[in-house]
Chain A
Amino acid sequence: MNSYYEASARERLRLLLDPGTFHEFLPPSERVASPHLLQLDTPAAFDDGIIVGKGLLDGRAVLAAAQEGGFMGGAVGEVHGAKLVGLLERARDERPAAVLLLVESGGVRLHEANAGLIGVSEIMRAVLALRSAGVPVIVLDGGQFGCFGGMGIVARLCDAIVMSEEGRLGLSGPEVIETTCGVEEFDSRDRALVWRTVGGKHRYLLGEADALVADDAAAFRQAAIDLLDTKPDLSLEALTAEHERLGGRLERFGACRDALDIWSALGIAAPEKLPLLEADAFRAAVAGKRA
């Protein structure tokens, strides 16, 4: 078993795609690094923390991007964002079976905040354009830094999200919430609290993650294969229904103080036991009870 959580972005792509099929665009040898970090005398990466390219998944052509949490927490800078936008726009021309986003990002890179913010908004627009063109965009979230900030929004704009229990998804990260609202509101060092609030199991129960898999690259690969034929309904009726579902969710759980309260309200027996369950047992325990 290869841990997806511990793997680097490059290892994840290698383990996810059919062996030997990945071809990288703008590889590190091209030296396309951040011009801003250079000015700030901050170490840069030759790939600016993101790997983009094409390959085969179960024999079908896909484009894929992987963010490297080991470089500035996968934060989105100008080059980083542009590489992702370029990949998404290329997909509109090439029409692959899907675009896979192996996200791991704390959001916008503060060193180049304006350029990063513009980058994130361009990614969002490119994702939506690609979806409306009928190419599914699938997010895989199981890295060490989770997926927060602008990339958290991007993830929710996509067709499907695959998470492991170790993955995290949210807008403001736990440390940001604690800093702005106080430790009484959210104790970012209470790791159990953090994971049951933004972790994969909770996101799956809320219906935000479509698949919950073990921390195993092979499990991520299988989940991505299973989602290749996702055909989203982008009709107005479907969108209205989705908005109603989200409104209803807020009404139903808005008063809950803790994820455990939500799990109880979902009718799950022994919710306190959920965090300990392995992925298979967990999916079985919550079958038919997701929000």
Chain B
Amino acid sequence: MRDWNIQARSRQARLARASSLAKGKEIGAADVAALLEAVLEPGDRVCLEGNNQKQADFLARALADLDPEKIHDLHMVQSVLALPEHIDVFERGVASKLDFSFSGPQAGRLAKLVGAHRIKIGAIHTYLELFGRYFVDLTPRVALVCAQAADRAGNLYTGPNTEDTPVIVEATAFKSGIVIAQVNEIVETLPRVDIPGGWVDFIVQSPKPHFIEPLFTRDPAQISEIQVLMAMMAIKGIYAEYGVDRLNHGIGFDTAAIELILPTYAQSLGLKGKICRHWALNPHPALIPAIEAGFVESVHSFGSELGMEAYIRARPDIFFTGADGSMRSNRAMCQAAGHYACDLFIGSTLQIDLAGNSSTATLGRIAGFGGAPNMGADARGRRHASPAWLKAGREARAGRNLIPRGQKLVVQMVETFREHMQPAFVERLDAWELAETANMDLPPVMIYGEDVSHILTEEGIANLLLCRTDEEREQAIRGVAGYTPVGLGRDKAMVENLRDRGIIRRPEDLGIDKRDATRDLLAARSVKDLVRASGGLYDPPKRFRNW
């Protein structure tokens, strides 16, 4: 007769091997290597909590330092490879296979090890896909997670950076896996319970608090007047035009500029209460002036941001907070919200081709995707209507014999030349060459052209929804590509025709005087201005201060 309980008995055997090490659920920091050796088996699928921001760094180091004679060929599944240890695990021969989503800081080393056949990549995902596969065919046997604090029963308090922890623990604990949590402190009573103790097998107090990266802080002092101009165009030419009320912003100075001119420029256009009320967004410090001015009604977040804790705590009507007052974030939920519940995504990129495909891939780096493609894609499963969604859908379908439906606004916002005078517009994405050298199935495209509704540069806005042929689309893109080779290759007559039809709109067509685009429009011009705007509640990390 078939044995239906292999996984649970494997779990029991592993727990039995570890039983002498634990006092209740507690493991001493010195015994972590022994614990990992006891519960791991070669070939196990292991989820190491590497998030966009917080990192299970102590457990990552311990895993990388294991004896590859005993533990090897692990299959790592994790959303982000951020720390050197995340690659060390492969370099030392403890793990051999990887399924992941984003590898920004380690992209160069990852590419080298893949080239040397030291890492076999299963697939590169977006966050939602990877989380989805945790519940389908990539369920972890062992999860190494990270929390702010635990009590002795194993209940976890994640603090504001809940991020990926719930999704990882849920997938592991309910499929007979083993969950080990590193915590900054073990306390008698937690401020609140984010993960029930019954889902957690072991807790270990890390010798040092876990690492968190303040990824979403942009110093307003570095915003240029070109970026202010582009922000004005976004607000007047897109947000006001479509009545964008639910949205997600990418990280970057371009979108920080939009956030910072809401209380000045958007206010002067009478748009308060009409746009930008509901956000799927990390708690960007740059959003503080807009929140204080009453623009923003709600913000749900993927993760938190260092320094924003007290401000969030004091604005519970805006942010999602627990009974203890601190924020609760959740990457999976917020990604779903960003995909299905938002009418607009706007973000920057490195390269855009003539079909509007955009990519951040560069040669020699396998950086992955993160969550941008989940945000920056038309949600084809969406059925509920909103004015912005309906208008975009009407524009895309006018004059074609199609059943009515809406469409998401996906805006790519770039200066025609980026750093080191590299053109942002290219005939062919570097992604093609990367796909060939790294032997990928597909060129890594961040946002597909067919999902892009608008391209916004300092030269104007190209509305791709209104283009009816590939040729029109190409000329619309060339028409806002300025003095890049792609821009110089435009057909002048056709671009003028597109402009007459409102497919290309220059700042002057929108009634924007470029001379008004000054840094004086920014509601905060420095990090200290953000502190002032927050009434002293925002406490920026040291590297962002000049006081």
Question: Chain A interface (Cβ within 8 Å of chain B)?
Answer: 3, 5-6, 165-166, 189-196, 199, 201, 275-276
Q: Contacts A276-B531, A276-B536: A195 and B525 contacting too (C-beta < 8 A)?
A: no
Contact A195 B545 (CB under 8 A): yes
Q: Does B519 contact A (CB under 8 A)?
A: yes
Contact B519 A192 (CB under 8 A): no
Q: How many residues of B contact A (CB 8 A)?
A: 12
Contact A192 B525 (CB under 8 A): no
Shortest Cβ gap from A186 to chain B (Å): 14
The one of A5, A6, A192, A276 in contact with B542, judged by C-beta atoms closer than 8 angstroms, is A192
A47 vs B55: C-alpha distance when bound (angstroms):
51
Q: Does B543 contact A (CB under 8 A)?
A: yes
Question: Chain B interface (Cβ within 8 Å of chain A)?
Answer: 221, 519, 525-526, 531, 536, 542-547
Q: Contacts A6-B519, A276-B531, A276-B536: A191 and B546 contacting too (C-beta < 8 A)?
A: yes
Known A-B contacts: A191-B544, A199-B546. Give 16 more (CB < 8 A). Answer: A3-B525, A6-B519, A6-B525, A166-B546, A190-B542, A191-B542, A191-B543, A191-B546, A192-B542, A192-B545, A192-B547, A193-B542, A199-B547, A275-B545, A275-B547, A276-B531
Q: 19 A-B pairs, CB-CB below 8 angstroms?
A: A165-B547, A166-B546, A166-B547, A189-B543, A190-B542, A191-B542, A191-B543, A191-B544, A191-B545, A192-B542, A192-B545, A193-B542, A195-B546, A195-B547, A196-B547, A199-B546, A199-B547, A275-B545, A276-B547
Shortest Cβ gap from B231 to chain A (Å): 18
Cβ–Cβ < 8 Å partners of A194 in chain B: 546
Cβ–Cβ < 8 Å partners of B519 in chain A: 6
Shortest Cβ gap from A156 to chain B (Å): 22
Nearest CB to that of B219 among chain A residues? A191
Shortest Cβ gap from A214 to chain B (Å): 11
A194 vs B519: C-alpha distance when bound (angstroms):
25
A190 vs B542: C-alpha distance when bound (angstroms):
6
Cβ–Cβ < 8 Å partners of B542 in chain A: 190-193
Looking at A189, A199, A201, A276, the one whose CB has the most chain B CB atoms below 10 A away is A276
Cβ–Cβ < 8 Å partners of B531 in chain A: 276
A172 vs B526: C-alpha distance when bound (angstroms):
25
Cβ–Cβ < 8 Å partners of B525 in chain A: 3, 6
Cβ–Cβ < 8 Å partners of B545 in chain A: 191-192, 195, 275
Cβ–Cβ < 8 Å partners of A195 in chain B: 545-547
Cβ–Cβ < 8 Å partners of B547 in chain A: 165-166, 192, 195-196, 199, 201, 275-276
Nearest CB to that of B221 among chain A residues? A6
A194 vs B543: C-alpha distance when bound (angstroms):
10
